[in-house]
Amino acid sequence: MNKTMILLAIGLNLALGGCSQKDPIKIGFIGGLTDRNSDNGQSGLNGVILAVEQFNRQGGREGQMVELVTKDDAQNPATAQQSSRELVAAKVEAVIGPFTSGMAKVIVPITAQNGIFQVSPTITSMDFYGKDDNLFRINRTTRDYAEDYASVLMSQGLRRTAVAYDTRNLNFTASWLKEFRAAEQAAGQSLAAEIAYESGDSTDFGQVISQMLASKPDNLVFISGALDVARLAQQARKQAPKLPIAAAEWAATEQLVELGGEVVEGLLIVQNYDRDDQSERYRDFADAFYKRFQRQPGYSTVAAYDATTVVLTALKNRKRGETLKQAALRSGPYQGLQQSITFDANGDTRRQAFFTTIQNGRYVKLQD
């Protein structure tokens, strides 16, 4: 090969190299995709997938696509630790998740130690509030929710509340219970009973309800996931069919209505998004989601889509030498699907919420 041909070959290789695609930007997802409360995690994952696919179709970050690395925490501490380490090893730029405060207690220290920016769509425990770390949260706090529940129940004339709470997600349930108890006490009330149980296939939900009823309450509150709330409601309807029941926001999924059927009719529960939103922005999203997954979005879907919007916007706007957290703080406020999202310096935000009851298999807003 003569000198001219060698130079042409080198030039061709450089040209082809210049046309090659950029390496993708990796972001991680972690949530409960198996085990008892997988409805939130799977619904959330679908929201993340849709947001990433739309971002890539619009050209990504200057032609650089986003690759989603998905991990299951299985609502198990050991699995959560292993999955977190795998995300670190994959060199993800950010993580979306987890979806329960109990898993966040395990996962966040690992991602934080490795400087990974993280946005949780749904965790609410006060343990993560007001801390200058790499964790941002889309949701309100257990204090916000519990105080609202206490106010609504008292406005309905309910004064003796018996509470059951699942110890498998203790970081959340204990925080919620603590704030609810404080709100009741501030109004001169006290809880009739606090019944702890560990969720599992062999859990005797009838016994849990019997223990709650022994305190002669005028209403029951369940701090549990959707599957357990459906089973607790079933036992409550058998033992005290006319007693009002309510559940913490953790259970506010489509699975609750599907599994509970008639026994969850009339149940009081808060929502942080509006299922009946007719705005063009939300309808476009809901239509795209249904086309992609053949189902309607749930609250964790909306929150996860918004969390992904935060991450992708920060990635797109990040300047040279800037951390993703710095870019995220600088890039706000964000337009979520239904609400504007503004973070304080610690990555905490406020989110509008409203109460619903289940009527004819649908979540229906309480009238003011």
Residue 39 lies in a domain: yes
335 neighbors 310 (Cβ within 8 angstroms): no
Residue 19 lies in a domain: no
Question: Are residues 50 and 149 located together in one domain of the fold?
Answer: no
Question: Are residues 40 and 120 located together in one domain of the fold?
Answer: yes
Question: Are residues 177 and 226 located together in one domain of the fold?
Answer: yes
33 neighbors 42 (Cβ within 8 angstroms): yes
Question: Are residues 321 and 237 located together in one domain of the fold?
Answer: no
344 neighbors 88 (Cβ within 8 angstroms): no
Beta-strand ranges (E) seen in 177-319 are 193-197, 219-223, 245-247, 268-271
Residue 300 lies in a domain: yes
Query: Which of 55, 12, 124, 129 has the alpha carbon at shortest distance from 305?
Result: 55
Residue 76 lies in a domain: yes
pLDDT of residue 69: 98
Question: Are residues 263 and 183 located together in one domain of the fold?
Answer: yes
Residue 7 lies in a domain: no
Q: What kind and span of H or E run contains 341?
A: strand 340-341
pLDDT of residue 22: 84
Intervals of the chain under pLDDT 50: 1-20
351 neighbors 339 (Cβ within 8 angstroms): yes
Residue 350 lies in a domain: no
- Residue ranges making up the domain that contains 241: 143-271
Question: Are residues 287 and 176 located together in one domain of the fold?
Answer: no
Question: Are residues 261 and 334 located together in one domain of the fold?
Answer: no
Place of tokens 């299922």: 275
Final residue of a domain: which of 271, 291, 308?
A: 271
pLDDT of residue 12: 37
Residue 288 lies in a domain: yes
- Cα separation of 358 and 318, whole Å? 43
Question: Are residues 136 and 202 located together in one domain of the fold?
Answer: no
Final residue of a domain: which of 221, 236, 271?
A: 271
Mind listing the pLDDT tens digit for each residue in 265-318? Answer: 999 999 988 988 999 999 999 999 999 999 999 999 999 999 999 999 999 999
pLDDT of residue 276: 87
Question: Are residues 134 and 157 located together in one domain of the fold?
Answer: no
Question: Are residues 193 and 235 located together in one domain of the fold?
Answer: yes
pLDDT of residue 368: 62
**How many domains does the chain divide into?**
2
Final residue of a domain: which of 245, 271, 297?
A: 271
User: For the domain that residue 238 is a member of, what is the CATH number?
Assistant: 3.40.50.2300
Q: What is the 3-state secondary structure (H, E, C) of 179-192?
A: HHHHHHHHCCCCCC
Question: Are residues 112 and 150 located together in one domain of the fold?
Answer: no
Residue 150 lies in a domain: yes
Mind listing the pLDDT tens digit for each residue in 142-168? Answer: 999 999 999 999 999 999 999 999 999
Question: Are residues 107 and 168 located together in one domain of the fold?
Answer: no
